[in-house]
Structures are given as C-alpha cells and as structure tokens.
Structure 1
Amino acid sequence: MVRVPESLRAAACFPPEADAQGDARAWARVMVTAARELRAACQDAKAWAPDVHVEVMSAFDEASRVLAAAKAPVLAAQEASGTWKAPGVGSFEQFRAKTTRTGTGATRKELGAARAVTQLDGGLDALSAGAMTSVHAERLATITDKLPEPLKHTLLTGANARKITDLASRLDAARFATQVENMAAALSARHVEDAHQAARERRHVEMTPAPGGMVRINGLLDAGAGHVVQVALDAATPRPSADDTRTKAQRQADALHTL
C-alpha cells in the first residue's frame, strides 16, 4: 500500500469539478506542503546514499525551473491587475520588495527575468524543460531592458527567439549573454539603417505659388541632409549688422536665394 502523509492529503483538497483557479490554489498548497515535508526529510541528508543525493538534487533543480516558469505569468497578471497599488508603493518592484523583504534589487532581477522569459516565444516551455535556467533569463532581461520596444519584440520572437533558446540550451549563462548581446547589436544596427531608409523614403521638397507674389517651400529631409542644408545656410548668412532689421528666418530665406 502506498503511504501518503496526512499533511499531503489535507493539502490536496481539490474542487469537485475542474476549476482553474481552485485547482491552482490546491496545487499551491500541495507545493508548499511537499516542500516543508521535504525540508524535514533532508535534515538526515548526510546519511543518504549517493544516488539519493543525485536524485533529490536533480528534483530540486527541475522544481526550481518549473516553479520559475509557473511564477512568471502569475507575476505578470498580478502586476497588470493593479491591485497591489497602495500609498507609498510606487511600483510593482517596490510592492514585491516589501512583501518578500528581499529588497528592490532582488525583486527587479526577479521581475525582469519573468518578463523576459514570458515575452520570449517558447521561453516558459524552455525554462520548464531545462533548456533555459533562471540565470539565463536574468541575463536576457539585462539585455532586453535596454532595447526599444520594437527591437525587443524582434529579438524575442520568431527565428531570433528560437536561436536564443537554442543558445541557452548549449551555453552557460555568461557565454549565452555574450551571444545574445551580439544578436541585439546586429539587430540594432539593422534597425538604425531601416529607420534611416524609411526616413529617406519620406523625403520631398515642394514649391507652390502663394499669394502676394510669393512661393511656399515645403518638404522633409532626413537628418543628415537637413544638417548639410543648415550648415550651408549658416555659411551663406553673414553676421547681421546693427541696422539689419531682418529676422533670422528672413536672413536664411535670403541665404537660400543666394545659394
């Protein structure tokens, strides 16, 4: 007959019918109960056979990864709910720091890793399966937190996401971070070039007749071309004399005519 501790029987009180929230609460009770029972059992670890050490440590490592993957979407949902907001609590990081008493540095690292692995396509599955560790997720967050949202999305989705999870499965966290930083740098350079080309696609200059014998000039230049034009206008605009009543805009209009 299988022996089931009474504490575990009491914790495993599931709803009569399948219920996601009720099941989650029951599994959470089972998790805490099992952890406490395991802690008590581990007090005698010195007397264990070597294969028991290996088996239990392997279970610790797997449980740590799976719990991190389970915790990430709960953290995201709790943050999004806003129910944690209270006077004197300016951010979710501060809320977690207060409730866990670990400090803002630790909670910032925890939340950053949770966000990164949640946003990474297949990230939660990779973490659960052991292809990625919590330290890999923390290193990934350190990199992605510096990126603008469009670039972060590109890095964490599609083929780039698959490459990231593959790197995590083959490399330790330090070498993984180096490779992902290189990926981000390459994407950033491409992003800058794409943005430049997109800006150039919008370039135009239009001259249309205006009332009073004038001509209206309207257009857009990319930043580099605009700088060249501005330098040329400045060079063709002499320092005004004391009796020069023209505005700066009028002097630049005259400089454009001179050019």
Structure 2
Amino acid sequence: MCDEEQELTGGNASGRVVRLGETVRKPWIGNTSVVQSYLGALRARGVDAPKPLGRDGRGRQVVEYVSGTLALDQLPLRLEDLLRVGRMIRRIHDSSEFIPIPDPDGWQMLLPAESPNLMCHNDLAPWNLITGDRWVFIDWDGAGPSTRLWDLAYAAQSFGMLVEGQPVGSAAKRLRALVDGYGADLALREALPAAMAKRAAAMFELLRSSSESGFQPWAEMYVTGHGEHWRAASEYVARNQTAWERVLRFEVAGSPLRD
C-alpha cells in the first residue's frame, strides 16, 4: 500500500485532491456530510459508488480510491458502452427516489433545476467516470437537489460528445445510445433536446458571469478554455435540435444501433 500522498489531477471546484493508499483525501466543505450520507445510501441500494470513509485527522473528507481509466481518455465511447452508462445513470436516479433531500429549502445550487425533486450527482460526465474492473462515477461533491431531466441532459450532452466539430449524425447515435440505455420514456425523450440546450447555455453563463464577478474557480476556468468550449457547445446543441428530436423519437428507439 502506498503511504505517501500523491496529488491527483482534476478537482477544479473541490480544492487540492490527493491519494493516500487506497483512499482519496480532499477538503471537507459545507455539504460533505450530506454527500457522504448520500453515497452510503446509494451503496446500500446496490449502486457501486465510492465508499464514504468520514474525516481524517487533518479534517479532510476521505472516500475510497477507485482504480481504472477515466472515460474521458477513451472518447468517443462505443455505443455498447454508452448503453451501459445510461443504465448506470438510471440506477442512480431510481435509487435516489428512496433517499430524502436533506433540508430541501436550504440549498444554493450553481445550476439549479426547475422544481428539484431528486438528489443527483449533477456532474455525470466522462471526466467523472472510472472504467475498468468496475465502472464507477466519482467526485460527488456537487451532489444536491435536481431532477432526472436536468441531470440526464448534462450527461447526455457530455457523453454523447454534442460539441462543436463533431459530425451531427455520429453525435446523434451516441446520444440515442445513452438515452436508450437509460430507458427514457416518451415524455423524457421529448423534453431532453431543449433541456440539453438550456443546460449547456447555463454552464456557459455561469462561466461568463463568474469571469465578470471574479467568482472562483469558474472565473479562471472561463479564460483557460472552458468558456469557449461551453459557448461553442451551447450553440451546437441548440443549432441541431431537429437532429436530436428525430433520433430520440420513440418510433426509432427500437431500430438497431451501429457504430
């Protein structure tokens, strides 16, 4: 077992993150106790999430270290892998239905959903998915009240690689694979294209407004490439709404998917 701290990359919004042995240590922030309880409740319902391990002697939060490869380093994922990701997200959402939202009126979410009714990860993206012997979503520090639609919209856009420069036809296939894996019903499929556009635009606006106010770490992220990425992504998602609507129609959901 490694007994020296190794600094880990990422953690844009959570401060310094290190690995110590088979654990991850990071700052204990305002919602950490709630997040650790949420992780424990998900694990009790069969979701493979990092094991919460409380607080160390330096006051840092401790969670299980999950070894493997980031999905971000394997993009674009194969269609069968996107089906698997969709199933994982559905299991998280279904399990969260049984977990009450602590202090439902006391949350200040960066990108709040309309009428939040479900505890969600809020950053289900390739940079937070470990693959290998286990497939596990990590970095739950942004967890809080949201909705299936708002959480899925972000995941679908990011895993589907609905970003500027991607062929629309290929992006649409990836989108549908994840949504099919989720098992989305008609109402969710119909609402998703507009929600993806709104969610991507909200991310860009958070970065843009933070650059004006100096709100960190988002202000720095805005000028180091994230702002331009999300500006272009929001325009791409909005510009191709017809393609997303067409591929998500229920009548085509049963047709074969091919890479």
Class of the TM-score when normalised by the shorter of the 2 chains:
under 0.3
**Larger % of helix: which?**
1
Q: TM-score, normalised by structure 1?
A: 0.26
Structure with the greater alpha carbon radius of gyration: 1
Q: Higher relative contact order at CA 8 Å, sep ≥6: structure 1 or structure 2?
A: 2
**Larger % of strand: which?**
2
Q: TM-score, normalised by structure 2?
A: 0.26
